[in-house]
Amino acid sequence: QRARRLQVGGGGADVFRGGEGQDQIVVSDGDFFDIDGGNGADTLVLAGTGFDFDLTDISDSKTTGIEILDLTAGSGAHILTLSLTDLLNLSDTSNTLTVEGGGADSVEVTTGEWTDMDVVGHYHVYRLGAAELKIHVAITDVDITLGT
């Protein structure tokens, strides 16, 4: 397996192309043109200050090949908003999204009634159909609808 490759955007209409292996792509705003992490467990890192990353406002084809979203870079509270469809379309190889973050960050899931699978390791795990969302336990501000 190839070593991790780091790609850092300059802001604006950046284009990122990962390859095989574990790529790490760093963006400082949501104005990028296209991200494709490629094969492997690829990470999209949200840098900057107080990043509000709303995947429901971004075309599903604009961000692909991503298995991990990292909210720990930069400063301030980062906000991640996504739908079930966003999660399923992020990765070409799995239906699992892992979200890294801290106590100031938050995650909002806009669709579906999820099953709470409890805490596994350092992640609170939620499932809906084929989708699995793993949110680091340090992120306590999670807005997700749970089924009965």
* Stretch (H or E) spanning 87: helix 84-90
Degrees (nearest 5) of the Cα angle 147, 117, 132? 85
Higher pLDDT, 5 or 52: 52
Tokens of 109: 């899931």
114-122 average pLDDT score = 97
Q: How far is CA 94 from CA 46, 73, 136, 141, in A?
A: 21, 24, 18, 25
pLDDT digits (tens, 9 = 90+) for 94-113: 999 999 999 999 999 999 99
Q: Which residue do the tokens 């890192």 mark?
A: 45
pLDDT score at 1: 45
- pLDDT tens for 12-67 read 788 888 888 889 989 888 888 888 888 889 999 988 888 899 999 988 788 899 99
User: What does the mean pLDDT of the chain come to?
Assistant: 90
